C-alpha cells in the first residue's frame, strides 16, 4: 500500500495525526535556516560562507517538500490543500468548513505555496549572484553578466524584501487565528496532532514513511551537492 494512503480503517475521531514527523521537521528546520540566512546575509564577510551553506540545505529541503507533497502523509500532500481561486473566495466569504481547517485552509495554502515559491526563487537567484567582492554563487560563471546582475539585484534587494514581508504576513495570520478564532496553529506543527470532533483521515506517520522521507531528503541533498560541485 502506498505511503500516505488512507483507508476507511484509518478514519479517526478525537486526537488525529495531521502533520507527520517529516513535515514537522521540514517546517522547523526551514524556520531556523531562514533566520540563519537573514542573519548571515546581514553580517556579510566571512559569514557568507555559512550563508551559502545554509542556502544549499534550504534548497535540499525545498526539493524534499515538493516530492513529499506527492508521497507524504495525507495532509502533507498538495492534493489535500491546494485550492482553486473559487474555493479560496468562498472560504474568505463564509469562513469555510471544519474539514478545510484540518490541514492548511485555502488561505493558508496560498501562504504556503507563496513561501515555497519565493524561497525557491530566492535560492535559485543566489546560485547565480555575484557581489563582485568576495562571494559568488556556484552557477554565476555559467550565466551572462546581465543575468548575474539581475539575479544579484533580485536576491539582495527584491526577493529578500518580498520574503520578509510574506513571513511577517504568515506570522500575523498565526496570531490572528490564535487571538481572534482561538485556534492554535503552532501546537499541531509541534506535536503533529489535532483534537477533532468529527471523523477524518489521519496522516500515516510510522517507521516506514519516516524512512522514506529520509531517503527522499538524502537524494535531494545529493542532487544539490552534484549541482554545486559539478559547477565548480
pLDDT (tens digit per residue) in 125-151: 999 999 888 889 999 999 999 999 999
Gap between the Cα atoms of 100 and 56, Å rounded: 34
Q: Is residue 3 part of a domain?
A: no
Of 228, 231, 232, nearest to 56 by C-alpha is: 228
Residue 59 resides in a domain: yes
Indicate the range of 2-11, 41-50, 215-224 predicted with least confidence.
2-11
Say if 171 falls within a structural domain.
yes
Alpha-carbon distance of 26 to 34, in angstroms, equals 12
Neighbouring CB atoms inside 10 A of 96's CB total 17
Q: Specify if 159 maps to a domain.
A: yes
pLDDT digits (tens, 9 = 90+) for 56-78: 999 999 999 999 999 999 999 99
- Indicate whether 3 pLDDT > 60: no
- What SS3 class is residue 204? coil
| String of DSSP letters for 113-153 | HHHHHHHHHHHHHHHT-B-SSS-B-TTGGGS-HHHHHHHHH
Domain of 50 in residue numbering reads as 8-230
- Cβ–Cβ < 8 Å for 135, 124: no
Residue 31 maps to a domain = yes
Instruction: Give the total number of structural domains in the chain.
Output: 1
Answer yes or no: is 1 within a domain: no
Cβ atoms < 10 Å from Cβ of 223:
13
Q: Are 195 and 11 in contact (CB under 8 A)?
A: no
Q: Are 106 and 134 in contact (CB under 8 A)?
A: no
Of 23-27, 30-34, 166-170, the one with minimum mean pLDDT is: 166-170
- Nearest residue to 74 (alpha-carbon basis) of 4, 25, 3: 4
Task: Quote the CA–CA distance of 97 and 172 in Å, as a whole number.
Answer: 22
| Grid coordinates of 70 | 506527492
Write down the residue that cell numbers 500575523 correspond to. Answer: 172
Using DSSP's 3-state secondary structure scheme, residue 228 falls into helix
CATH of the domain at 120: 1.20.950.20
Question: Is 34 inside any structural domain?
Answer: yes
Residue 199, domain member (yes or no): yes
Amino acid at each position: 500500500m502506498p505511503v500516505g494512503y488512507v483507508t476507511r480503517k484509518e478514519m479517526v475521531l478525537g486526537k488525529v495525526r495531521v502533520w507527520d514527523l517529516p513535515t514537522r521537521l521540514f517546517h522547523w528546520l526551514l524556520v531556523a535556516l531562514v533566520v540563519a540566512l537573514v542573519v548571515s546575509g546581514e553580517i556579510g564577510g566571512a559569514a557568507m560562507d555559512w550563508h551559502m551553506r545554509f542556502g544549499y540545505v534550504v534548497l535540499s529541503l525545498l526539493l524534499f517538500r515538493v516530492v513529499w507533497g506527492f508521497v507524504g502523509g495525507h495532509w502533507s500532500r498538495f492534493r489535500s490543500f491546494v485550492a482553486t481561486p473559487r474555493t479560496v473566495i468562498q472560504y474568505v466569504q463564509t469562513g469555510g468548513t471544519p474539514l478545510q481547517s484540518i490541514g492548511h485552509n485555502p488561505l493558508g495554502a496560498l501562504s504556503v505555496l507563496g513561501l515555497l515559491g519565493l524561497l525557491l526563487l530566492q535560492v535559485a537567484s543566489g546560485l547565480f549572484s555575484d557581489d563582485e567582492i568576495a562571494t559568488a554563487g556556484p552557477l554565476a560563471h555559467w550565466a551572462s553578466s546581465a543575468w548575474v546582475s539581475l539575479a544579484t539585484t533580485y536576491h539582495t534587494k527584491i526577493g529578500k524584501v518580498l520574503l520578509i514581508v510574506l513571513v511577517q504576513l504568515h506570522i500575523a495570520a498565526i496570531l490572528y487565528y490564535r487571538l481572534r478564532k482561538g485556534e492554535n496553529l503552532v501546537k499541531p506543527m509541534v506535536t503533529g496532532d489535532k483534537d477533532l470532533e468529527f471523523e477524518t483521515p489521519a496522516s500515516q506517520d510510522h517507521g516506514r514513511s519516516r524512512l522514506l522521507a529520509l531517503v527522499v531528503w538524502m537524494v535531494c541533498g545529493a542532487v544539490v551537492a552534484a549541482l554545486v560541485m559539478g559547477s565548480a
